[in-house]
């Protein structure tokens, strides 16, 4: 007997959110179509009413995660100039959002990479480049505001920022989320902040 119908859009969201939760809980190797179906209380076949393949599910999930990451950064940044203080605030908000999501974004990226699917890999590569690009743009506004050094390679600084964040989140999640991410992040951020800030001498 068929249950009450659910709209396609809602279902698609439920499905990728289930995939997201499963990746966090068990790692990508354990994300199966059957488990996704169980997670939202439906059958395997029903999943295929909403997605053509498992790859399509992960592909949409990646898009949502990119929106999350970039959304964090855009939210904090006032469209005007970026002083070091607004940069501080943006990054704090970003890390806090990552902590609330339990590092989901970076984990999912790592997990999806491990599937070895070429199309998904280039999709991640592009998304990562856009993310780094946004950070670079943020720093660039800081340069215009005169609060960030203009003799620094902004792309390198943005990649450094990305790596710093991803690295700490990795250690944090590997260790079972046992320390407070924001607190653990503070000393890293202060080193980074000092290295790009203009008024150092």
Partner DNA sequence: AAAGTGAGTAAGTGATTACTTACTTATTCA
Partner DNA sequence: TGAATAAGTAAGTAATCACTTACTCACTTT
- 64: tokens are 């949502």
Strand partners, 148: 197
170 binds a second copy (CB under 8 A): yes
Q: 36 to 65, contacts with DNA by CB under 7 A?
A: 41-46, 48-50, 53-55
Other CB atoms closer than 10 Å to residue 177's CB: what's the count?
12
94 touches which of a second copy, DNA, none (CB within 5 to 8 A by kind)? none
Smallest distance, DNA to C-beta of residue 46, A: 4
48 touches which of DNA, a second copy, none (CB within 5 to 8 A by kind)? DNA
Cα→Cα distances 106→53, 69, 173, Å:
23, 9, 10
60 touches which of a second copy, DNA, none (CB within 5 to 8 A by kind)? none
Distance (Å, rounded) from C-alpha 93 to C-alpha 111?
24
74 binds DNA (CB under 7 A): no
Smallest distance, a second copy to C-beta of residue 86, A: 21
- Reference 33, options 50, 25, 96; nearest CA is 50
């Amino acid at each position: 007997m068929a249950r009450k119908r659910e709209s396609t859009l809602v279902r698609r969201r439920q499905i990728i959110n289930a995939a997201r939760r499963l990746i966090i809980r068990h790692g990508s190797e354990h994300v199966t179509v059957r488990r996704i179906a169980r997670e939202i209380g439906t059958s395997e076949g029903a999943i295929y009413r909403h997605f053509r393949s498992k790859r399509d599910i992960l592909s949409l999930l990646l898009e949502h995660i990119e929106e999350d990451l970039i959304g964090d950064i855009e939210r904090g940044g006032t469209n005007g100039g970026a002083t070091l203080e607004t940069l501080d605030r943006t990054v704090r908000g970003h890390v806090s959002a990552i902590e609330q999501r339990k590092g989901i974004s970076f984990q999912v990226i790592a997990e999806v990479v491990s599937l070895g699917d070429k199309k998904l890999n280039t999709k991640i590569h592009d998304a990562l480049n856009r993310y780094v690009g946004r950070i670079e743009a943020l720093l660039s506004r800081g340069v215009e505001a005169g609060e960030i050094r203009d003799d620094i390679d902004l792309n390198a600084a943005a990649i450094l920022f990305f790596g710093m964040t991803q690295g700490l989140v990795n250690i944090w999640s590997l260790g079972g989320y046992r320390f407070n991410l924001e607190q653990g992040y503070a000393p890293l951020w202060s080193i980074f902040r000092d290295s790009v800030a203009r008024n150092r001498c």
